[in-house]
Structure 1
Amino acid sequence: MSRFQVKKVAVLGAGVMGAQIAAHLVNVKVPVVLFDLPAKEGPKNGVVTKAVEGLKKLKPSPLGVADDAALVQQANYEEHMELLRECDLVIEAIAERMDWKLDLYKKIAPFVAPHAIVASNTSGLSITKLSDALPEAIKPRFCGIHFFNPPRYMYLVELIATPATQPKILDDLETFVTSVLGKGVVRAKDTPNFIANRVGIAGMLATMREVEKFGLTYDVVDDLTGKKLGRASSGTFRTADVVGLDTMAHVIKTLQDTLSAETDPFYGSFATPEVLKKLLELGNLGQKTKAGFYKKAGRDILRFELDSETYVPAGEKADEVYGRMLKKPAAERLKLLRNSTGPQGQFLWSILRNSFHYAAVHLATIAETARDVDFAMRWGFGMKQGPFELWQEAGWLQVAQWIQEDIDAGKALSKAPLPKWVFEGPVAKAGGVHTPEGSFNPTSGQFEPRRVLTVHARQLFPEAVLGSDAPKWQTAGRTVHEDDTVRLWTLDHDVLIASIKTKMHAISPELCEGLQLAVDTAEKDFAGLVIWSGDEMFSVGADLQVMLPAFMAVGVSAIEDAEGFMQQTMLKLRYAGVPVVSAIRGMALGGGCELAVYSHKRVAAMESYIGLVEVGVGLVPGAGGLTYIARRAAEMQAQSTHKDLLPFLTEGFTAAAMAKVGTSALESRKLGYLLDSDVIVPNKDELLYVAIAETRAMATTGWRAPLKRLFPVAGRSGKATIQGQLVNMRDGGFISQHDFRIASLIANVVTGGDVDTGTLVSEEYLMTLERQAFCELVQHPKTQERILGMLSTGKPVRN
């Protein structure tokens, strides 16, 4: 069977979604042509040009590196239709107007390549009706593809087939979206708003109704419905502001226009809330207009008040008793909420009951299995658990009985009873919809396993739903050694894996012992070592909470010993006799960054944030970070014809002195923390697979550790040049006196201290300078103030 390859993609429509989809394609190195209407005045590509330029200004950035906007090929429908013939995938992303989309399909149809997949990025229009305008030859290659906004960051993509869509087309597209775009795919049925928006927006509308019923303020509701409830930290109303109130209103209108009381028993709760109508009337569309349910006034956050149509001070928090309730085990938590007498507790029970009720009633019509609903709500709405998972964890039949009692008592949003499968048959017998055999499909009445495609083999530990008993990386494979700080284990008896267990994967002396043991064990019994910790972050760096008490108890000698041991650990990794690969995801900061750069290779997820951030707590990198910067500068100079070392040093010095963090793996590569030879992996769940493969490839192709060698430094003249610039910044008020001191110490280390330009030094020599600078700053009152401030508030202190 021939393999479907996507060599080029066309995106039709340079609006918010189209332009950002194009940006993400650039991020993952897929050539893309962005089309829109020809401009009425000026250059014909003016509409697209404006959209591409706008990508550079958006926050959060849709581009891994802003300059890569230039890689988006610009086109218009009048002059460049022939370019469509070169594209293997065509994604239509114009405005949500059925007539506009159908008209565009008629125009592009003659130019679509005979093998190309055509997909509509719509948030809710009927995919089958959209296909009506396509020739019979294209219909089998047409489907829906629903990206969530912003496309770079949101993991969920829904794929929707029509009755004519060939199954292989969806399989091919899911493979591309999963591995190349790095997304989690859910297949939805062709119903209004598909799965995530259908359940999620209905839930937001229901929440707004319950807010009015219980008389709660928006800030209290957001406090209750954010992290405390296991949902996105932005809660309900802040999320609406971020999404855009006009976008939300459009999705609500789709529900209103395409559903009825006959097709959806919850239809009566789909009315547009009065507060949303008023905000739309005022033009307050949320974050994009800097005013919605909330707005910022200076440093103050205000919330909208419907009665007065004005903004009043926000910041009110929920009653602490409900925060404590929400920390209880699921069964106890729901029982406490249902039995609570306060409005906040009753509100929480009501919105959870509504979500369970709605999901159960509509499961058969919107999704194949309950798994699809739970994944859609996790990946599309930032929930820690989907509705079915929480229901099952809390006790399936007991919760079902509570829901039905509320329905019968008229407390629910709809009189529709729970489906029979909730109380009878395999679900009732299994105690829920998720089992090791699979998740419940109400159409077939069976538990069905997750669809298996070849690409899924690259996900060694994919996300799984509660109740599936999927293998967990914490216990998988064969354990070689485990203690409180690290687990050393293997899946294949060939590559050793070191997984950090400390809180936030902070680096302590005990962890360094574990990493040194990992190197010794790998050299003795394995072909290589992968450092991978399996969850949201690589490492936040040195453990300050351990460091400060040691300093207070023993003095600076304790700090010097700890830093020296960390440096020894980094050098042991660098000169290990087997390849060491760091598999990075999320934050790799400070010591975490040093751990990465002292590995022989890095495999990084696209959303990796790497940098030396010690300046933020008044310190300098102390475990070899500055030594790495100096060595890399010397290596880059050696590969060029430039005789001056300083230009190669400047970027690394600036990154460390300003605590720059790469806001993507791509930007981290520009900062020098990732090299061109390192691998960037779009899908976080493929990280371990790729890291093991890279390690094995290095081992089998004759890899050898680098030889220890001396390298030149910029010396006192280079330091003087940097120092002069720092003086100007200090005297100009751009940096404080303490910042000046820290930056001067960084300059001293990366230039080699008081030596002549070109002096050859060792890594150990520079690491000694690092330790001295680090220990000097630890004793400084202003640094201690910064450390204590960070530990107590989590925010940097500027002094």
Structure 2
Amino acid sequence: MTENKVIKKVAILGAGVMGAQIAAQCINVGLPVVLFDLASKSEDGKAENKNAIALKAIENLKKLKPAPLGLAADANLIVAANYDDDLGLLASCDLIIEAIAERLDWKHALYEKVAPHIPAHALFATNTSGLPIGELAKGFSGELKKRFCGVHFFNPPRYMHLLELIPASDTDPTVLDALETFMTSTMGKGVVRAKDTPNFIGNRVGVFSILAVFAQAEKFGLGFDAVDAVTGSKLGRAKSATFRTSDVVGLDTMAHVIKTMEDSPQGDSFSGIFKIPEVVKQLIAKGALGQKTKAGFYRKDGKTVMVLDVASGEYKPSTAVIDPLIERILKKPIGERLELLRNTEDPQAQFLWAIYRDIFHYCAIHLGSIAESAREIDFAMRWGYGWDKGPFEDWQAAGVTQVANWIKEDIEQGKTLSKEALPAWLFSGPVAEKQAFHTPEGSWSASENIYIPRSSLPVYEKQIFRAALLGDGSPDPKTAGTTIYENPDLRAWVDEHQSEVLIASFKSKMNTFSPEVLNGIVKAIEIAEAHYAGLVIWQPTSLKLGTPGGPFSAGANLEAALPMVMKNGPAGVEPFVKLFQDTMMRVKYAQVPVVAAVSGIALGGGCELVMQSAHRVAAIESYIGLVEIGVGLLPAGGGLKEAAIRAAQGVTLAGNSNFLDFTKGSFENAAMAKVSSSAQEAMKMSYLQKGDIIVANVYELLALAQSQVKAMRYSGYRPPIPTLIPVGGRSVAATVMGQVVNMRDGGFISEHDAHIAQKIISIITGGDVEAGTLVTEEWLLKLERQAFVELIGHPKTMERIMGLLQTGKPVRN
């Protein structure tokens, strides 16, 4: 019988920014965690609460933005500890992660102290962004070396998908497998194994790419805002581009990572570029560290974004935009794009070709020393830096030999940042023959001179669609499996591995609801009832490029609804609303379970679909809410009906008739357009229900939803029996409206907001009836429908809808 290496409890050594946030992520995924730091003493030498440092860090987690915790109150689940009194707590921990400051001597001193207390079964890891793991392993002796390795969480740990796993020379391979399994499934990470070289993979390549931008921007005379205008989303990289990203990360943090490379004896032909840029040194000296000090490359003066002018050292209004010619070039396929950039004299074009060339050049030369294969570099840049495609994917798409020859020419002409020639394997051998770094058999390993296949660890069996790389032969989730039914906006299909479960996936923009989507859902339910165990509603967009987690649904398609109103007046939209309501009731009362697999935004109608599904499987990063008031409307697909039902259930469970207490929360959610900041908060808001499953890794979402359908079917699933619903009536509505009127009169909300709020509370409380009156779901749906039709004809609502469609921003009127 094999032993399960299950990690049931974690200890974090070091309550700094990273340590505390790693502890927070443990709590997010339901893992008990102990957070250690130095024992605290009062100034007069008498002991106060010796856990004060750890406790302060835990308290600070509640205030940090972006929020490290799914629910701020869950910070209290972290156990605070100190090194003087509490090392005995390590005995019950299965994984210990050291996360103190990046000082080799400090880490070694701590290892000496804790090593005798680490139990024989526990794994021991250091969270470091670049210190040599082999050197760190010298901080203790004996058998513990086999259980020691590096892990590198990217900041902030909750949101960044990348985790680097780095072995020391003595690390037992089974330890790495156990940690990869745990980090992938339990912690929700995309694990990349790195070699023990300076800054590993993500920061090694990422920081080089930033320093190359610095060098080329200076060469071509481009300002910081001009660089950001061309190196953001239009290049398939993070929206915050280069210098805004540096401000967010912190210039001091960036300088530290650069210094690690500068101090590393690596014999790197690019070593001349690994120096902290003079402008960064000057900004740090002034205390302008970026976003955390409200000034770096950028600062805000009121609403005006100011950018640093290097020549004067002063800030000036940011006005740079991308040249229209360059914008057109960047829309071309990558091969044509690179050729046009290379042959266009415009400084922005020459700059862009240079930074593409530099990253290709650098990655080709260093591939063999820093990574097992091209796969690790591409995933590191996608998951750690938000690139849509990794450097080797772009290179492969543009043509391996063609680009290699261009780079070779630039090297010979002295245009590159290094004179080192490209490796021979680019011009002869398998890569040149196949014109590919990634193939179905694997990704190119420069150190082994073969294509290396993906990891076959059992944990990846839960990922029906693993993260794909260009050319690796991975199935496209938008077309994979066997299509059973399809219309222009929805596809119903089965996956060959779990063919007893039907899957419905939307094809509309942002997965919005159109008549075709609604009709497709009904058809999919009919097919599932006749032939399958149940239906999963899952969107392939959850596996978007870069960091995964795309939208579940942005709600109803307003652009499609507007012509109905224009043609036949407000009443023209009523058939669409009725179709939406009927479809949601079909979802709720289907004879087989309908399970919503939620990731990303589920807004408006998307939230209503989530609420009325038989069960929900949600990624932690699920942002769910009824937001219709923002466009001057209210939920009319059963969202307010479900709010009334949840209020009635609360009253029944409490055994009293205080409808107000159980109505206010649902009313505020809809009337204030509140959106959950996590799946945990969605559960607190009653959008998710007790028993729903929260998933850490979005790549496991589909498989777990399919398994949920099968479990429900196996246990004899029956849809709920329609019942009469007791409602709060006009008295509860009047009480709530008293508070709304006060907010309106105080100028906190507009007259139109108050008008919509009155309709929302009236529906949740059942309309003009007495408290405790029993109503049907159809009654509540009719109230929703009537109010929606009335509002869509209101001039102020039309202003909001048109404003949002034209500018993408909400209009407050």
Q: State the TM-score, normalizing by the size of structure 2.
A: 0.97
Residue correspondence of structure 1 range 315-330 to structure 2 within 5 A: 315-330=319-334
Superimposed CA distance per residue, residues 139-169 of structure 1 (whole angstroms, 9 cap, x where no aligned partner):
0000000000000000000000011000000
Offset at residue 794 of structure 1 (A): 1.1
- The SS at the match of 2:644 is helix
Deviation at 1:534, TM superposition (A): 1.6
Aligned-residue offset at 1:641: 2.1
Give the Cα–Cα distance (whole angstroms) in 1 for the partners of residues 19 and 501 of structure 2.
Answer: 42
Determine if the alignment matches structure 1 residue 408 to structure 2 residue 412.
Answer: yes
DSSP 3-state at the match of 1:639: helix
Q: Matched residues in 2 for 1:410 and 1:493: separation?
A: 58
Match of 1:271 among 251, 275, 291: 275
Cross-structure match for 1:734: 748
Q: Which runs of 5+ in 2 are unaligned?
A: 43-47, 542-549
Q: CA deviation at 1:40?
A: 3.1
Residue 597 of structure 2 is matched in structure 1 by 583
Question: Is contact 1:259–1:267 with CA below 8 Å preserved after alignment?
Answer: no
| Pairing of 1:581-730 with structure 2 (within 5 A) | 581-730=595-744
Q: Return the offset for 1:719.
A: 0.7
Aligned position for 1:73: 79
**Aligned-residue CA RMSD in angstroms?**
0.8
Letter aligned with residue 704 of structure 2? V
Q: CA deviation at 1:259?
A: 3.3
Q: Which amino acid aligns with 1:55?
A: L
Matched, 1:522 2:528: yes
CA distance in structure 1 between the aligned counterparts of 2:449 and 2:669, rounded to whole angstroms: 58
Q: Is the 8 A contact 1:529 1:581 kept in 2?
A: yes
Q: Following superposition of structure 1 onto structure 2, how do residues 128-527 of structure 1 map, counting pairs within 5 Å?
A: 128-260=134-266, 263-491=267-495, 492-527=498-533
Mapped contact 1:604–1:687 kept (Cα < 8 A): yes
Query: Once the 2 structures are TM-superposed, how far is the Cα of residue 778 of structure 1 from its aligned partner?
Result: 0.5
Other structure's SS at 1:138 match: helix
Q: Which amino acid aligns with 2:568?
A: V
Q: Secondary structure at the match of 2:179?
A: helix
Q: Which piece of structure 1 moves more, 492-501 or 345-354?
A: 492-501
Q: Offset of 1:271 from its aligned partner?
A: 1.7
Q: Secondary structure at the match of 2:812?
A: coil
1:135 is displaced (CA, Å) by: 2.1
Cα deviation, residue 290, structure 1: 1.1
Contact 2:647 2:662 in 1 (8 A): yes
1:364-407, Cα deviation, whole Å (9 max, x unpaired): 00000000100011000100000000000001100000011101
* 1:98-124 per-position Cα deviation (integer Å, ceiling 9, x unaligned): 110011000000100101111000000
Distance in 2, matches of 1:647 and 1:598, equals: 23
Residue 36 of structure 1: aligned partner: 37
Which one-letter code corresponds to 2:809 in the other structure?
A: K
Which moved further from structure 2: 313-322 or 235-244?
Answer: 313-322
Tell me what 1:124 maps to. Answer: 130
User: Contact 1:117/1:141 (CA < 8 Å) preserved in 2?
Assistant: yes
Which residue does the alignment assign to 1:12?
A: 13
| Structure 2 Cα separation of the partners of residues 715 and 112 of structure 1 | 61
| Matched residue type, 1:165 | T
Deviations 1:468-521 (A, max 9, x none): 011122222211011211000012331110001101001011211000101111
> In structure 1, what is the equivalent of residue 545 of structure 2?
none
Deviation of residue 643 (structure 1)? 2.4
The residue identity in structure 2 corresponding to 1:710 is L
Which 4+ runs in 1 deviate beyond 4 A? none
| Preserved CA contact (<8 Å) 1:441 1:447 | yes
Contact 1:301–1:314 under 8 Å retained in 2: yes
Which SS does the other structure have where 1:113 is aligned? Answer: coil
732-741 vs 151-160, which moves further: 732-741
Determine the C-alpha separation between the residues in 2 that align with 1:259 and 1:43.
44
Partner Cα distance (2:319, 2:70) in 1: 33
Name the aligned partner's letter for residue 41 of structure 2: K
Following TM superposition, by how much is the alpha carbon of 1:307 offset from its aligned partner in structure 2, in angstroms? 2.3
1:404 corresponds to which letter in structure 2? Answer: K
Amino acid at match of 1:173: L
Instruction: Indicate yes or no: 2:788 matched with 1:774.
Output: yes
**SS of alignment partner, residue 540 of structure 2:** coil
Q: Which is worse superposed, 490-499 or 117-126?
A: 490-499
**Separation in 1, partners of 2:590, 2:519:** 15
8 Å CA contact 2:490, 2:516 repeated in 1: no
CA distance in 2, matches of 1:509, 1:430: 46
String of CA shifts for 1:705-750, please: whole Å, max 9, x gaps: 0001111000011111111111111111111111100100101100
The unaligned stretches of length 5 or more in structure 1 are: none
Q: CA deviation at 1:542?
A: 0.3
**CA distance in structure 1 between the aligned counterparts of 2:464 and 2:523, rounded to whole angstroms:** 25
Residue type of the partner of 2:314? T
Distance 2:572 2:514 in 1: 13
Distance in 1 (CA, whole Å) between partners of 2:783 and 2:599 is 30
Q: Give me the whole-angstrom Cα distance separating, in 1, the residues matched to 2:119 and 2:558.
A: 58
Write the letter of the residue equivalent to 1:196.
Answer: G
Question: Cα distance, 1:676 vs. partner?
Answer: 1.6
Asked if 1:571 corresponds to 2:585, the answer is: yes
Say which SS state the counterpart of residue 581 (structure 2) adopts.
helix
Structure 1 counterpart of 2:11, which letter?
Answer: A
Return the offset for 1:533. Answer: 1.0
Question: In 1, distance between residues paired with 2:373 and 2:18?
Answer: 28
Q: Distance in 1 between the 2:468 and 2:333 partners?
A: 20
Tell me how far apart the structure 1 counterparts of residues 314 and 428 of structure 2 sit (CA, whole Å): 51
- SS of the counterpart of 2:68? coil
| CA contact 1:488–1:518 (8 Å) conserved in 2 | yes
Question: Does 2:797 align with 1:797?
Answer: no
Secondary structure of the residue aligned to 2:476 is coil
C-alpha distance in structure 2 between counterparts of 1:270 and 1:257, whole Å: 9
User: What is the DSSP-based 3-state SS (H/G/I as helix, E as strand, rest coil) of the residue aligned with 2:379?
Assistant: helix
Report the Cα distance in structure 2 between the residues aligned to 1:25 and 1:582, rounded to whole angstroms.
25
User: How many aligned positions are there?
Assistant: 797
Inter-partner Cα distance in structure 1 for 2:487 and 2:560: 18
Paired AA for residue 113 in structure 1: P
Residue 45 of structure 2 corresponds to none
Greater mean alpha carbon deviation, residues 784-793 or residues 183-192: 784-793
State the distance in 1 between where 2:189 and 2:126 align: 17
Equivalent position of 1:25 in the other structure: 26
For residues 41 and 394 of structure 2, the distance between their equivalents in structure 1, rounded to whole angstroms, comes to 53
How far did 1:288 drift? Answer: 1.1
Equivalent in the alignment of 2:798: 784
8 Å CA contact 2:487–2:516 kept in 1: the answer is no
**In structure 1, distance between residues paired with 2:120 and 2:656:** 52
Bigger Cα displacement from structure 2, 289-298 vs 685-694? 289-298
The aligned amino acid for 2:4 is R
Distance 2:683 2:600 in 1: 15
Task: After superposition, give the CA deviation of every residue in 1:25-64 in whole Å (9 maximum; x if it has no partner).
Answer: 1100100001111123242111111111111111110010
**Would you say the 8 A contact 1:192–1:259 is kept in 2?**
no
Q: What SS class does the counterpart of residue 709 from structure 1 fall into? A: coil
